[in-house]
Structure 1
Amino acid sequence: MADITAQKGKTIPLAAFAAGAVVAVLVGVFGRLHDPTLDGTTTLGYPTVLAMKTVVSTGIGVLAVVQLLGALWMYGKLGVKAPSWVGTAHRTTGVIAVLLSVFVAYHCLWSLGLEVGTLPDGTPVSTRSFVHGLLGCAVVGALVVKVTAVRSRRAPGWFLPVAGGLLFTLLVLAVLTSSAWYIGTKGWPSPAG
């Protein structure tokens, strides 16, 4: 009987990780096959898509840290009992982070694609850009895993923190290979004006 229970406890996480991996690969294939274009994108008043993505991605990075702290607080890992509003704040900031992540991913894939080697104009693609693209694809897959973990009532207790930790790690790495790099080399972007 215990063996059947253990088997059932693994089904949801395995299915979620498989679905997340498939989504990440499909996003990568789309990014690779799609001809990058700026059509259908916005800069939200910044001079370039990269400048806009830097600002929004930095916000996502801050929200990811808020998510981590909120989760630690809710689960009693900070040594102080969390007030009742922390759960609502955690869910709200999580939804905002997901929506902003999808917004940034769209702009990455649509306007920049997942380029390897050289761009059509002959410009070499940096290792940083390629790694960032792969991380971005992995973030989208990890979002699938995390949403499954949050919505599942029958998943084992370890699944949600593992899914959250995976998503947090990938988001931080994606932000470090994009926003942190941009700010370090070009400074904080100013709106066009």
Structure 2
Amino acid sequence: MLIRPRVWLPAVAGIGVVVALGVYGRLHEPVVTADVGGFLRIQTLKVWLATAVAGLLAVQLLTALAVYGVLPSGSWVSGVHRWTGRLALLLSVPVAVHCLYTFGLRSDTPRVLAHSVFGCLLYGVFVTKMLLLSRPGESRGWGIPLAGGVVLVAVAGLWATSALWFFTTIGTTW
């Protein structure tokens, strides 16, 4: 089966984003935070923002299932899907920028390496999905649901390797 340019061009762009973030994260000199008290407050804020993103992605999953007819749907479902996605992206950007700038792509432990890879993957697949969506009038096919599923897996992996680890290791206090 031949894969049409409609799918592979956005996939190549997404792979480019993954590689660019990974290379930047690896080559960038991380900024060391000396103030442990301030660091923990920033980390706690990031953990809660990541938890909000994960919650919004759960709504994304349910609304996507409704859009594709797996769950009952109403005229409002696609709007909720778009706006929860926008809000999730908005909340994820400060977390990602801080992680990339402060830590870069690290491989200290398997958890940290997995977290770094999931972070790069998330934004690469997001770019792929948005480029696939920007092709009006063409058949949606399997690319968009696949990209959405990988976004969901990346966010779940990010949350598990950061927020879940933080909550079970440090706790839920501010």
1:97 aligns with 2:80: no
Gaps of 5+ in 1: 1-5, 40-44, 117-124
1:177 aligns with 2:161: yes
Gaps of 5+ in 2: none
* Alpha-carbon distance between aligned partners in 1 of 2:32 and 2:39, rounded to the nearest angstrom: 14
2:120 to 116, 134, 137: 137
Tell me, what secondary structure is at the counterpart of 1:48? Answer: helix
**Offset, 1:134:** 1.1
Runs of at least 4 residues off by over 6 Å: none
* Alpha-carbon distance between aligned partners in 1 of 2:39 and 2:101, rounded to the nearest angstrom: 17
Normalising to structure 1: TM-score of the pair? 0.80
Does the Cα contact within 8 Å between 1:132 and 1:174 map onto a contact in 2?
yes
Identity, % of aligned positions: 36
Q: Please tell me whether Structure 1 or Structure 2 has the larger radius of gyration of its CA atoms.
A: 1
**Offset, 1:149:** 2.1
Aligned residue for 2:55? 62
**Offset, 1:106:** 0.6
Aligned residue for 1:3? none
1:15 aligns with 2:9: yes
What are the equivalent positions in structure 2 for 1:50-129 lying under 5 Å apart?
50-78=43-71, 80=72, 82-116=73-107, 125-129=108-112
1:32 to 9, 23, 26: 26
Does the Cα contact within 8 Å between 1:149 and 1:155 map onto a contact in 2?
no
Normalising to structure 2: TM-score of the pair? 0.88
Residues 28-75 of structure 1 show CA distances to partners (whole Å, capped at 9, x for unaligned) of 111111111268xxxxx9843321211100011001110000111122
1:49 aligns with 2:42: yes
Aligned residue for 2:142? 158
**Offset, 1:27:** 0.3
The one-letter amino acid of 1:55's match is W
